Amino acid sequence: MKKAIVVGTGAGGATAAKELQGYFEVTILEAGKEFHPLSLNLSIPEKLKKMGLLFDEKLIQKLFPTMNIKKAKDRMILVSGIGHGGTTAICTGNALRADNGLRKIGIDLDEEFEEIYREIPVTLDHRSLWRKTTERLYDISQEMNLDPQLMPKMGHYDRCQSCGRCVLGCPQGAKWDSRHFLRMALEKGAQMISKCKVQKIVIENGRANRVLANHSGRKQSFQADLIILAAGGFGTPIILESSGIACEPHLFVDPVLCVAAEQKGTYQNREMPMPFFIERDHFILSPYFDHLSFFFNRKWRSPPHNILSLMIKLADSKTGSISRGRIKKSLGEEDKERLSRAVDLCKEILHRLGIHKDDMFLGTLNAGHPGGMLPLTENEAKTLHNPRLPENLYVSDATLLPESMGNPPILTITALAKRVSKVCIRHWQ
Nearest to 34 by CA among 186, 157, 152, 160: 186
Nearest to 322 by CA among 250, 393, 388, 256: 250
Task: Report the C-alpha gap between 419 and 384 in whole angstroms.
Answer: 8
Instruction: Provide the phi-psi class of 147: left if phi over 0, else alpha when psi is between -120 and 50, else beta.
Output: left
Confidence of residue 281 (pLDDT cuts 50, 70, 90): very high
CA angle 265, 258, 309 (to 5 degrees): 15
Quote the mean pLDDT of the chain. 94
Does the pLDDT value for residue 73 go beyond 90?
no
Contact 295, 280 (CB under 8 A): no
The 10s digit of each residue's pLDDT in 113-163 is 999 999 999 999 999 999 999 999 999 999 999 999 999 999 999 999 999
Nearest to 16 by CA among 196, 284, 229, 201: 229
Contact 79, 68 (CB under 8 A): yes
Instruction: Provide the phi-psi class of 82: left if phi over 0, else alpha when psi is between -120 and 50, else beta.
Output: beta
**b/e burial code for range 290-320 (CB count within 10 A of at least 16 → b):** bbbbbbbbeebebebbbbbbbbbbbbbbbbb
Q: Which CATH superfamily is domain 3-34+177-249+372-428 in?
A: FAD/NAD(P)-binding domain (3.50.50.60)
Rg (alpha carbons) of the chain, rounded to whole number: 21
Considering the entire predicted model, what is its pTM?
A: 0.96
Mean pLDDT calculated for residue range 355-371:
96
Does the pLDDT value for residue 77 go beyond 80?
yes
Nearest to 89 by CA among 159, 26, 168, 172: 168
Confidence of residue 55 (pLDDT cuts 50, 70, 90): low
Does the pLDDT value for residue 53 go beyond 80?
no
Domain residue extents for the chain: 3-34+177-249+372-428, 43-75+123-171+251-367
CA angle 118, 91, 404 (to 5 degrees): 85
The 10s digit of each residue's pLDDT in 399-417 is 999 999 999 999 999 999 9
pLDDT over 70, % of the chain:
99
Confidence of residue 425 (pLDDT cuts 50, 70, 90): very high
